[in-house]
Chains A and B, each alone.
Chain A
Amino acid sequence: MAGEEAWGMSESTPILEMRKINKHFPGVKALSDVDFRLFPGEVHAIMGQNGAGKSTLVKVLTGVYKQDSGEMLLEDRPIRPDSPLAAQKLGISTVYQEINLCPNLSVAENIFVGRQPLSLGRIDWGQLNRRAVEALKRLNVSVDVTQMLSSYSIAIQQMVAIVRVLDVSSRILILDEPTSSLDEAEVEQLFKVIRKLRDDGLAILFITHFLDQTYRISDRITILKNGEFVGEYRTETLPKLDLIARMLGKELSEFSFAMAGEDRKKESQKAGQDARSLLAVKDLGLRGAIAPFSLSLDEGDVLGLAGLLGSGRTEMARLIFGIDSANQGEILVKGRKTNIKAPRSAMLAGMGFCSEDRKSEGIFAELTVRENIVLALQGRKGTFRYIPKKKQLEIADELIKSLAIKTPGANNEAGQLSGGNQQKLMLARWLATNPIILILDEPTRGIDVGAKLEIMELILNLSRQGMGVIFISSEFEEVIRCSTRVAVLKDKVKIAELSGEQMSESNIMHTIAGGR
């Protein structure tokens, strides 16, 4: 194998081998001579930045794309699936990130729809439900299978999806970002299932953005970069920092952000004397969403919100920005009590908010980059005080330059930009309005490591210019590096606020683990 630390002779032979796979799209070489092996009884993670070719490789394997050249061997026999269905028939089962089930059907039916047991030409519901219960029991899941799927948590739905794709003939299970919308408990629940399946001898291909999870679950890692094969490693022989460096193709010393963390702690200690208060929240709460909380944000502050998924971070941000309306408490902006009942009033008070769900709550894919940028500013000025096109272009060009947004031009459609650049575009939209407070919900999620660094650096710069920033991220490391203070949340309650030397990953984790 081509990897420098290629894992020598294996104790078993691979069930799947992909050799010298090439695939190009008009203008892009998506995969060049990529090798990939999958062993039975192992969890194998494919790692790489966005654009590294992970999803293209998987799509070749599952028959969504056809490779230009290269061969695939399943148990030493060449295969060429031409559709996901054909791949499924070969024993290659895939569970996608967006759970591809029908929310309006029962759990049992979701497992069997399309191949329901028949008797006398009609669907045998009794048998169907019994078999669903048995299949779920194999994964140690017990739920009422006659309930509609939509009445269960995402984790349960994920497992139903797994049960659906697995059947006796399944030999390979592909999990594409299965954990991206699960909370910690749910992730662990899912991992238990994955380990069980692995121990049963299934070969599992696992794709994720979460480094920690890769180390928790995988036995083997293949790294891709720019469509090229970098190497294949045993997980335990590959230190985390090496993995990042190989994904980036950079030397470790190039991580400018590694230093930033130190600076922040000093700044954090300096601050607090003469800074003006930008935002003060008192006992703001919404029953069922988040327990009443208070917080304050001064000029130049970056308040990190740390907590597990579902801990109430997003709910907190939505309440402050007026997306949901609080049923108690008050908000003071620059010391003045402000009635925030909709995003519009929050914006007029000088706030900006980048949602965690870029696609459905942020970007207007069919509008131009220019329009995406000036939209909030125009909203702020009012519908009838139109910003002339020329002025719009100026504003857009300036922000494209200062944020280094990669786009062919301001008049190109925003949907064509990569994830990281779309994230920057949302930032640009709010920066155009010149806000005093910026709320960023997971601005670094789902984008490649390079873009992550740029965004974090941007946050630091903005706060140095006096902006108050509320920063939400699932990666505690990032929260610490950017923030002057960190609010810790657990189970919809704000349980602590850390600053200065207290800010560390282990401290946050201990705080969360320690309870309220």
Chain B
Amino acid sequence: MKARNLPILVTLALFLIMFGGGSLAFIGFFSVQNFLNLFIDNSYLLILAVGMTFVIVSGGIDLSVGSVLALSTMVSSSLLAKSHLSPVLVIPIVLAMGTALGLFMGYLIQTFNLPPFIITLAGLYLARGLCYVVSIDTIAITNEFWKGAAHATVNLIGNNFVSPSVFIAVAVVLAGLFVMRYTRFGRNVYAIGGNEQSAVLMGLPVNHTKIAIYALSGFCSALAGIVFTFYTLSGYALHGKGMELDAIATVVIGGTLLTGGVGNLLGTVLGGLVYGIIQVLIVFQGTLNSWWTRIVIGFLVFVFCLLQRIFETGKSAALARERAKQAPKAQASS
């Protein structure tokens, strides 16, 4: 039980060390607002990562999320600016579109037994290409509701505030936590990630679950796209470029195994915070160019994967020892 939580504790420790280190090194780093900013600046990433956690725990991968995010910024800005549709219509349309894209990819993957890597990779192309079909140029959003969402702040204790996006992200995380822990669907995701063939033979609805997982990831990507436009107030085909990897990195740093079956959304949130604080640290440091973020993230992914490897080999060795001990014990108990 404890061993299972170890990766999350490592991520938590890492975050605390980074936050503490930053607070000691830089004046003005340590503040509640700076902590809240991590959520404000990364809320769309968290939303993407929630969907990605489901996919990765099920043993799959979704490379299309960054592009679907971009497509959803394009479609929403185009519908708002060019078709002058009301946000009440735009938001459901965009969410339905993202879900449909995910549904489509999930259907191909599951029904025809195709590799998720290739199908979602093609999805990456498809969504990015569709962006250009909508428009080659940036589309600015001038809709009042959107502007309101972009500029609104909600005061918390003291003078500290968060943006409405944070509430959306937190709601998504909480809903994700509930689904993963307390619904049959969520548990089926773990079962499929643990051993898909077993899941089939146990009579679990593997087909529907897997298709639903990709649909869910598509939904999260579309929602993240809407949230993203709250920051940029624009739709642009190059938004979210490479963000699929940020999402994957966030999930991995959060302790989810890329082999599937093991993972936790709390870890993913911590992973997102670690991701955010690296960026903040580099900004505070001042002299390093922002591309160091990538190198540091790459390094962290390396460290975490290494830890998981050591953890795995350690566990299988412990298991062998346990088995050796258990055989005579089992005899005695029966």
Contacts and interface: CB of A to CB of B under 8 A. Distances in A.
B178 interface: yes
B184 A116 contact: yes
A109 interface: yes
Contacts of A289: 320
Contacts of B197: 100
A136 to B, nearest CB: 12
Contact of B190 (A100, A102, A185): A102
A39 to B, nearest CB: 26
Nearest to B334: A189
Interface string B200-220: 011111000000000000000
A339 interface: no
Nearest to A147: B1
A414 B178 CA distance: 48
A113 interface: yes
Contacts of A267: none
A188 interface: yes
A104 B194 contact: yes
A288 B322 CA distance: 10
Interface stretch (A24-32, A148-156, A297-305): A148-156
Interface in B249-276: 261-262
A105 B183 CA distance: 14
B4 A148 contact: yes
Nearest to A139: B334
Given A103-B194, A146-B1, A109 B324 contact: no
B78 to A, nearest CB: 38
B187 interface: yes
Interface size class of B (residues with CB under 8 A): 35 or more
Given A114-B184, A114-B203, A186-B330, A288 B324 contact: yes
A296 B42 CA distance: 67
A84 interface: yes
Given A96-B201, A164-B202, A185-B331, A492 B183 contact: no
B9 interface: no
Contact of B334 (A85, A140, A183): A140
B323 interface: yes
A113 B322 contact: no
B187 A101 contact: no
B153 to A, nearest CB: 34
Nearest to B179: A122
B290 interface: no
B226 to A, nearest CB: 28
Nearest to B263: A104
Contacts of B317: 288
A189 B330 contact: yes
Contacts of B199: 102
A123 B331 contact: no
Given A88-B203, A147-B1, A100 B195 contact: yes
A192 B197 CA distance: 29
A146 B209 CA distance: 24
Interface size class of A (residues with CB under 8 A): 35 or more
Nearest to B195: A102
A101 B334 contact: no
Contact of A113 (B178, B188, B330, B334): B188
A105 B187 CA distance: 9
Contact of A109 (B187, B262, B330, B333): B187
A85 B206 CA distance: 13
Mostly helix, strand, loop or mixed at chain B's interface?
Answer: helix
A152 to B, nearest CB: 8
B151 interface: no
Nearest to B257: A104
Contacts of A150: 319
Given A84-B203, A102-B195, A156 B190 contact: no
A127 B320 CA distance: 32
B191 interface: yes
B193 interface: yes
Contacts of A118: 184
A435 interface: no
B320 A288 contact: yes
A169 B59 CA distance: 33
Contacts of A109: 187
A142 interface: yes
Nearest to B57: A104
A346 B249 CA distance: 42
Given A104-B193, A104-B261, A113-B191, A153 B326 contact: yes
Interface in A283-301: 288-289
Contacts of B178: 122
A189 B182 CA distance: 34
A161 B205 CA distance: 18
A108 B256 CA distance: 22
A88 B1 CA distance: 33
A146 B1 CA distance: 9
A173 to B, nearest CB: 15
B327 interface: yes
B158 interface: no
Interface in B283-334: 317, 319-324, 326-328, 330-331, 333-334
Given A114-B204, A146-B1, A122 B183 contact: yes
Contacts of A152: 326
Interface string A108-143: 010001101010001100000000000000001110
Contact of B327 (A114, A142, A183): A183
A310 interface: yes
A256 B197 CA distance: 43
B203 A85 contact: yes
A96 B197 CA distance: 12
Nearest to B315: A150
Contacts of A84: 201, 203
Interface string A65-102: 00000000000000000001100100000001001111
8 tightest Cβ-Cβ pairs between the two chains A and B: A102-B194, A104-B194, A104-B261, A122-B182, A185-B331, A100-B198, A100-B201, A189-B334
19 contacts: A102-B190, A102-B195, A102-B199, A102-B202, A104-B194, A105-B187, A105-B194, A113-B204, A114-B188, A114-B191, A141-B334, A152-B326, A153-B323, A153-B327, A156-B330, A185-B330, A188-B334, A288-B317, A288-B320
Given A104-B193, A123-B187, 8 more contacts: A99-B198, A100-B198, A113-B204, A114-B203, A114-B205, A116-B187, A156-B330, A185-B327
Interface of B: 1, 4, 178, 181-184, 187-188, 190-191, 193-195, 197-199, 201-205, 261-262, 317, 319-324, 326-328, 330-331, 333-334
